[in-house]
């Protein structure tokens, strides 16, 4: 039994890209997760058992277009880059059909194979594809190794290591928050800061741990959200409570210490 169209599950070892049949009646396709037009081309060349240095351009172009048509029929958005490559292939194909300039004949050196640029790109690309495979293996090995759990000196783990990118992201968030704050004009009964602190403290002591994400998501308005945020800061400051972030950009957890 063939699976339904199955995409984007990718495993270097078990998940080989492949295209299975494609008659109009019985359209059973397994779309490999092709990383781009070059990836697809390499696959087709291998499937056709063609020599990469002497690509049968007409046949490969036909297969390539067939694949794109299949994607379209399945309502899969075909990325523009795939279409650009289709155009390139057609162009090369037509150049191959042109008779060579008789004047240039004989001087083989000057004859530039229309496929050359594409072949160079494919070869260059394939190196990086192999390198990606190497990285995949490395990360798999690395996932089998664990470092120590937090120790006492790691108490201030609410801190994060910042990069320039973080600065921008954080800035965008602040600005977005600011804009939404201004938009908020609806007044409704809001919980006071004191009540918020009381409420959160009680829950924290009941549950020992409180996910900030959960708390913040419960808030019904920006104003409440801000109140909750300040309340959390107050609690951390005044009570024996720790803010912990187990993963960078992960959820932050309030914890009774």
Partner 1 sequence: METEESEKIHRSPVELMAIVEALIFVAEEPVTSKLLGEVLEEEKGAIDAAVEQLQQDYEARDAGLQIREIAGGWQMATRTELHEDVRKFLKTRPSAKLSLASLETLAVIAYKQPVTVPEILEIRGVQSASAIKTLLDKRLIIARGRKEAVGRPMMYGTSKDFLLQFGLKDLSELPSIEDFEDLVT
Q: Which of residues 142-171 bind partner 1 (CB under 8 A)?
A: 142-151, 153-154, 158-171
Strands 241-245 and 252-256: antiparallel
Q: How far is the CB of 104 from partner 1 (least distance, A)?
A: 28
Strands of the sheet containing 241-245, edge to edge, are 209-211, 252-256, 241-245
C-alpha pair distances (Å), 129 with each of 17, 34, 36, 102, 244: 13, 11, 11, 40, 38
Burial degree of 101 (CB within 10 A; 0-12, 13-18, 19+): exposed
Q: How far is the CB of 22 from partner 1 (least distance, A)?
A: 22
Strands 241-245 and 209-211: unpaired
Closer Cβ to partner 1, 62 or 234, answer by number: 234
Q: How far apart are CA 121 and CA 59, in angstroms?
A: 19
Q: How many CA atoms lie within 13 A of 200 on its CB side?
A: 33
Using CB under 8 A as the binding rule, whether residue 176 contacts partner 1 is answered as: no
Closer Cβ to partner 1, 24 or 257, answer by number: 257
Closer Cβ to partner 1, 23 or 143, answer by number: 143
Using CB under 8 A as the binding rule, whether residue 37 contacts partner 1 is answered as: yes
Using CB under 8 A as the binding rule, whether residue 77 contacts partner 1 is answered as: no
Using CB under 8 A as the binding rule, whether residue 56 contacts partner 1 is answered as: no
Using CB under 8 A as the binding rule, whether residue 33 contacts partner 1 is answered as: yes
The one among 20, 28, 48, 53 contacting partner 1 by CB under 8 A: 53
Using CB under 8 A as the binding rule, whether residue 177 contacts partner 1 is answered as: yes
Q: How far is the CB of 86 from partner 1 (least distance, A)?
A: 12
Residue 67 has a CB neighbour count (10 Å cut-off) of 22
Interface characters, 221-250, with partner 1 (x: CB under 8 A) = -----x--xx--x--------------xx-
Q: Two tokens at 163?
A: 């990069």
Interface characters, 109-148, with partner 1 (x: CB under 8 A) = ------------x-xxxxxxxxxxxxxx-xxxxxxxxxxx
């Amino acid at each position: 039994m063939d699976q339904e169209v199955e995409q984007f599950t990718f495993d270097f070892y078990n998940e080989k890209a492949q295209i299975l049949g494609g008659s109009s009646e019985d359209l059973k396709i397994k779309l490999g997760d092709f990383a781009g037009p070059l990836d697809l081309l390499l696959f087709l060349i291998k499937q056709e058992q063609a020599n990469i240095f002497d690509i049968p351009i007409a046949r490969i172009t036909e297969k390539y277009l067939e694949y794109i048509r299949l994607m379209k029929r399945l309502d899969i958005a075909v990325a523009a880059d795939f279409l650009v490559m289709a155009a390139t292939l057609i162009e090369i194909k037509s150049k191959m059909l042109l008779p060579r300039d008789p004047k240039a004949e004989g001087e083989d050196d000057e004859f530039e194979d229309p496929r050359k640029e594409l072949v160079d790109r494919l070869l260059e690309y394939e190196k990086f594809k192999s390198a990606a495979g190497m990285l995949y293996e490395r990360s798999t090995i690395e996932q089998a190794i664990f470092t120590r759990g937090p120790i006492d000196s790691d108490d201030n783990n609410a801190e994060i290591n910042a990069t320039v990118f973080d600065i921008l992201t954080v800035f965008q968030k602040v600005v977005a928050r600011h804009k939404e704050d201004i938009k908020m004009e609806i007044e409704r009964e809001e919980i006071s800061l004191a009540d918020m602190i009381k409420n959160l403290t009680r829950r924290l002591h009941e549950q020992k741990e409180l996910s900030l994400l959960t708390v913040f998501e419960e808030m019904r308005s920006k104003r409440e959200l801000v109140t909750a945020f300040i309340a959390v800061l107050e609690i951390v400051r005044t009570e024996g409570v720790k803010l912990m972030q187990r993963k960078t950009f992960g959820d932050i957890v309030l914890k009774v210490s």
